[in-house]
Amino acid sequence: MQEPVRPVFGKRPKNLEIDKLFRALVKFEGSDLHLKVGRPPYIRVAGSLRPLNHPPIDEEQMIRLILPMLDERLRRILEEDGGCDFAHVVDVDGVTWRFRVNVLQQMGYLGLVARRINNYIPDFEKLNLPPILEKLCQFDQGMILLAGVTGSGKSTTIASMLNWINRHYRKHILTLEDPIEFTFTEDKCLINQREIGIDVKNFMIGMKHAVREDPDVMLVGEMRDRETFETAIQAAETGHLVFGTIHASSAPSTISRILDLFPQEMHRAIRSAIAFNMKAIIAQKLLPSIHPDFKRVPAVEIMIFNPMVKKLVLEEQDQKLADVIRMSKEEGMQDFTMSLKDLVERRLIDRATAFEVAPNPEALQMALKGIEVKAPGIL
């Protein structure tokens, strides 16, 4: 199929010198490529960084590798901000691979970190995601946030959820991404994917256009700032199902992470908007697997906005949210302890890994012994 034309903002060239390193990443089934002046290229395989059999990269070579990847807009962003993000496409043995690339400056030198994006979008079962995610995809409006650190699988989970909608409903899915990661094949849905800087100048203009583009489902990317969250929550309030990601360590702590984007005097209004529009917050940690069929599997925490969760958010009692999650297993909620217990019992991860990442090792120890910890009174 012919490569689509990228209008207005131009296309970056292909068949670059750096593409040899991207092909090596694919060959060794790595997830990330790291380039730093004075060091050989490193790739991350099964969670661990390993050097490639390559001489250290000097400053001149780094410039020669990186700058041809950047168009005028990206060079300007790099110069002004000290870093830039974009997608890069490489052909490997007739197969097109996409990479999410960050170019950075550190101690006066250029560097690069790139994440390989899978060519296919796995379903929930193949990703070892809880079945409740299928139910969350059936909402007509509201917001669903994926929380976690970089590399925790948030983008993959959202792509899987959007693809479930694509397979089951006749809707219009609109994504605003910086950059586009997964590319969708339309099934029952009409899907438009817009990349910031390539298809639309910036996020705010993209959101302004979105209200005139009749979307049913929207992906608005990462909640990095106040403006992004405000526009996303407004879209949820006006009848759209909105997906997004945010950097937070757990589902309950996501509330305070959102509030940190706003001044104190706005917190009550933001809590109200969250309580009445948020459908669920899903937090993830990606862990090395001991199962031969999976390299890594997600530990998943799920907080669904039932009446009790809404009440606690409105009343600023966020410290009680974790107890509600533990009490609400029948509604599909689970905390990290419950998820880790399940992964150990299904022999997807070993006990050492589970205890290393467990927020509460004592609670995990009791759970593995079959002792259920009773939550204190919530009301």
- For residue 17, CA distances in Å to 66, 122, 173, 314 come to 9, 31, 36, 54
Q: Which H or E run includes 86? A: strand 83-92
Residue 49, amino acid: L
Nearest to 30 by CA among 10, 46, 11, 51: 46
Beta pairing class for 172-177 and 190-195: parallel
Q: For residue 278, give the nearest of 248, 244, 328 by alpha carbon.
A: 244
Tokens 């583009």 — which residue? 213
What is this structure's pTM? 0.82
174 contacts 210 by C-beta, under 8 angstroms: yes
The per-residue pLDDT for 11 is 52
Average pLDDT over residues 256-268: 97
Q: How does residue 6 score in pLDDT terms, banded at 50, 70 and 90?
A: very low
Question: How high does pLDDT run on average in the chain?
Answer: 91
Number of H helices, E strands in the chain: 14, 13
Nearest residue to 162 via CA among 146, 178, 179 = 146
Other beta carbons less than 10 A from residue 126's beta carbon: 12
Give the percent of the chain with pLDDT over 70: 94
Give all domains of the chain, ordered by start, each with its CATH number. Answer: 19-117 (3.30.450.90), 132-368 (3.40.50.300)
Q: Looking at residues 160-178, what average pLDDT do you find?
A: 95
Q: What is the pLDDT of residue 137?
A: 97
Report d(CA 368, CA 67) in Å as an integer: 52
The pLDDT confidence band at residue 378, using thresholds 50, 70 and 90, is: low
